[in-house]
Amino acid sequence: MKVMKFGGTSVGSVEGILSVKRIVESASKPVIVVVSALSGITDQLYKVAAMAAAGDENYLTEYKTMLHRHLDMIPQVIVDPQTQNETTNSIQELFTDLSNILRGVYLIRDSSPKITNTIVSYGEALSSVIVSQALDAQHADARDFIKTIHQFGKHVVDFEQTNQLIKERFAKLPSITVCGGFIASESQTNFITNLGRGGSDYTAAILAAALGAEVLEIWTDVDGFMTADPRIISNTYVIEELSFSEAMELCNFGAKVIYPPTIFPVFHKKIPVVIKNTFNPEARGTYISQERIDDRSKTIKGISSINDTSLITIQGLGMVGVIGVNHRIFKVLARNGISVFLVSQASSENTTSIGVRNADSPLAVKVLKEEFAQEIAHGEIDTIVSEDDLATVAIVGDNMKRTPGIAGKLFGTLGRNGINVIACAQGASETNISFVTDRSSLRKALNVIHDSFFLSDYQVLNLFIVGVGTVGGKLIDQIRKQQQKLMDENALKVKVVGVASSRKMLFRREGIDLNNFRDELMTMGQDASPAAIAREIIEMNIFNSVFVDCTANEDVAHLYQRLLENNTSVVTANKIAASSDYPRYLKLKETARRKGVKFLFETNVGAGLPIINTINSLINSGDRIQKIQAVLSGTLNFIFNNLSDENPLSKSILMAKEAGFSEPDPREDLSGKDVVRKLVILAREAGYQVEQEDVEKNLFIPEALFHGSMDQFWKDIPSLDAEFEEKRRVLAASGKRWRFVATMEMGKCSVGLEEVDNLHPFYDLQGSNNIILLTTARYNEFPMMIKGYGAGASVTAAGVFADVISIANIR
């Protein structure tokens, strides 16, 4: 035989009861069906009892609403007219009794716990009558065989009497029996009691254990135990198999799929439990058994959390080595009905922290201070304080046992995402690691753990992209085209959760549609400023966050330090920060290292060419960069490659601007400032402390042309054409070309126009390409050469994208 329990949502609607009927009729027999009250009715009964006790005559309105809800359901779930009438009469009789009780409470303006227990018992009494008639089943009243005794202010099951009564009552099992869960009666007095919220699960487990059922099925409105709370994490999935210990740990720490005490009776009888969905019965569900599932691909099975935590800390040097302190702590708390779900103690014994519900915190502190009043007076205990409004998170899995590095990975992951652990605990069974953190960090903690331990189908990177012009627009288009492939082939989900232009910003935690982000940014975006952008990112507090700067804005570059301090990685095409004063550059690098996040700027030099990464790899492997020679301006290279008798200097500059290679103001390129910045960045990455002012500049444009308006520049620049053309012809006749070369040798830096012959690697550099020669201790006689496109929106965007992908550490 089997026991099947159906929750409030399963029996709370016509659709639900009809689904219950189909499920039960197709099940192997005999079967005992345990039902909860219709969804919401238990709360309504508590409410109506309180209203009547308060003298609020509107309790009658609530009463009538419940009455009509039950009566309206009968003809829709029961076909036979005679059975309909019988059921209606039974329901009306129960409601008449309930009405009389409520009237008495209203008249005396009081409702004792015994009366309240009686009132709320009607929920299951009513639902079980309707379901039993709908199933044409025998009805049983759980109050006749579920017996309780009073301990520590609560009703606990008297198993000896209960098991005996169950065996007597169900000595002969009909095909289908229906009874209400939750409700019980006191062993000696027969006063009506209950098993507490969620007690219908417990009723079903008690019946299954007493009768030796083959299986206990818990039918609810979800497909089973999820890897985490789906209201917080979007990509959770059903855990198909759990051990009893894993299920118990998940239940105790907030997973509300089944009532925690449910596990206890069936565990001892080795009766498996199956969690199924009444509204999706074809789903496999979750199978819980005593067998230990050795699936090494999943170290942890699930994450559970309690967002209602108060941490009480007892601290004092007088506790060290004193026997019985913990006994006194837990004894006084138990005496006052306070449940402790987490204990964390320093090995020195001078501090003990306990986790309780926020509602229990004031009483817990009060009784602990009374218990240790003498020790506090003598200074042996310094303080007993509570920190409220916290959250507790537990990772659960039998495979954590004897697996090294789990705790390290957990706390490392949390640390890199800026999540502070206030207290932690792990039992010797190693099935559960629990920690307490700020409630505001709960969402982020759950998401990052879910990702880190591969409970998610995908690793997620959450991007904030600032600058949606040429480079930023190309980047977003590349992400859009590549998203599905990265998910399919690399299990990486790149999600853009924020975009900003110079005027507008748009943030959306679930992700922005990249197909029409510009329209949404303009129509739905808020007014943007660098300060507002940083504030929104920090307040969103999203996990695995990456700030992507596709601007050339100094104010945006000044946000990096704050974002890194808040554990947000930074990927930037903006050269300002990395080429700013050396202490600022160094602080950004050190902050990223200290916080365990990334500060990446590969595209600051050479667009998408792997220059900085190569330098870093050489140095990290023990090499030393001795000399760098490079053509780093695609714009200047384009200009000098296009010089001819038909294309004088002024025309070549205009061509570079029209082709999109130069800055809007070409003087930015002609001044060599951009090359200086790039050389400073390379020198620093090579291990040299260099400032922009240290770079020697040998420019080819007179200083006067860098001042004044753009119109004046375009008017004056042709005056250099004749001189340049004459020099170009002489140069060409001798088989040479001009290149604007950046050089660093043992920390000494210079930029300027140089002549190179046809044997030099720079001679044949085409278009806007860049080239870099790295002379190192290892690559000495023959320098390492890196060559390719060094300018252009697409390759720069691709380089930024590559930096973003590198954060995920995929191959």
Which residue numbers are catalytic?
A: 678
Judge residue 286's burial from the number of C-beta atoms within 10 Å of its C-beta, 0-12 exposed, 13-18 middle, 19 or more buried. buried
Nearest CA to 751 out of 605, 607, 634, 632 is that of: 632
**Cis peptide leading into residue 260 (ω within 30°):** no
DSSP letter string over 505-535? Answer: EEE-TT---TTSHHHHHHHHPEE--HHHHHH
In order of 45, 237, 300, 416, 440, the CA distances from 543 in angstroms are 42, 19, 19, 10, 12
Centroid of chain to Cα 119: 42
Token couple for 66: 């419940």
Other Cβ atoms closer than 10 A to 113? 10
Whole-angstrom Cα distance, residue 183 to residue 124?
Answer: 7
In 372-469, which ranges are continuous DSSP H helix?
373-377, 406-416, 442-452
Task: List, in order, residues 6 or more apart from 483 with CB less than 8 Å away.
Answer: 493, 494, 514
R_g over Cα of the chain:
36
Whole-angstrom Cα distance, residue 690 to residue 692?
Answer: 7
Whole-angstrom Cα distance, residue 11 to residue 3?
Answer: 16
Query: Residue 697 belongs to what H/E stretch?
Result: strand 696-698
DSSP class of residue 420 equals P
In order of 161, 167, 180, 236, 261, the CA distances from 202 in angstroms are 16, 17, 11, 27, 6
Name the pairing type of β-strands 192-194 and 599-600.
Answer: unpaired
Query: Residue 172 belongs to what H/E stretch?
Result: none
Residue 437 three-state SS: strand
CA triplet 463, 464, 466: central angle to 5 degrees? 135
Token couple for 490: 């690399």
Task: Report yes or no: 350 and 321 within 8 Å, Cβ to Cβ.
Answer: no
Partners of 392 in the β-ladder: 306, 436
Partners of 354 in the β-ladder: 312, 343
